[in-house]
Structure 1
Amino acid sequence: MTNGEIDLYGVYVPPVLAALGLALVAAALLRRGMMRFNLYRFVWHQALFDAALLLILVGAFTALLNRLGSS
């Protein structure tokens, strides 16, 4: 990691973009699991819930990547 960026085969990627990619995959898996077990019945507005879930995951993965990069 150089200058706070992630080097992917010579392409420097901001950590937030990497966190967003991880969060999209995790959100898709969580969404699929919630649909399979019919957990969306407890959610008032599915689109708002999905957006909030994505933002929470992006924040969590950003913090995780930040912690891994600083050590």
Structure 2
Amino acid sequence: MIGELDIGGIFLPTLLGIMAIAYVLFLAVHAVLNRLHFYRLVWHRALFNIALYTVLLSAVDVICRSLMT
């Protein structure tokens, strides 16, 4: 996504904002999965977390792109 966010006169890349939203979603999903003891079923927790964040990041990006058009 091309563009910039203007926050108080500081220009930030749009991807930074999308990454922040995806991280907040990741923290919420991660907390729910911890409460459900889902990670007992996961072979490699770090790889699963990276994959989960990547899926959330791409979902947020697709939603943002669809809202912009």
TM-score (norm 1): 0.79
How many residue pairs end up in the alignment?
68
Q: Percent identity?
A: 32
Deviation for aligned residue 1:30? 0.8
Q: Which runs of 5+ in 1 are unaligned?
A: none
Aligned residue number for residue 4 of structure 1: 3
AA of the residue aligned to 1:22: I
Which runs of structure 1 show a deviation greater than 4 angstroms over 4 or more consecutive aligned residues? none
For residues 16-65 of structure 1, the C-alpha deviation after alignment (integer angstroms, 9 at most, x for no partner) is 11111011111111111111111112211111000111111111112222
CA RMSD in angstroms, aligned pairs only = 1.6
TM-score (norm 2): 0.81
Report the more deviating stretch, 6-15 or 43-52: 6-15
Structure ranking higher on relative contact order (CA contacts 8 Å, 6+ apart): 1
Q: Which runs of 5+ in 2 are unaligned?
A: none
| Separation of aligned partners in 1, 2:4 and 2:52 | 25
CA contact (8 A) 1:15 1:62 kept: no
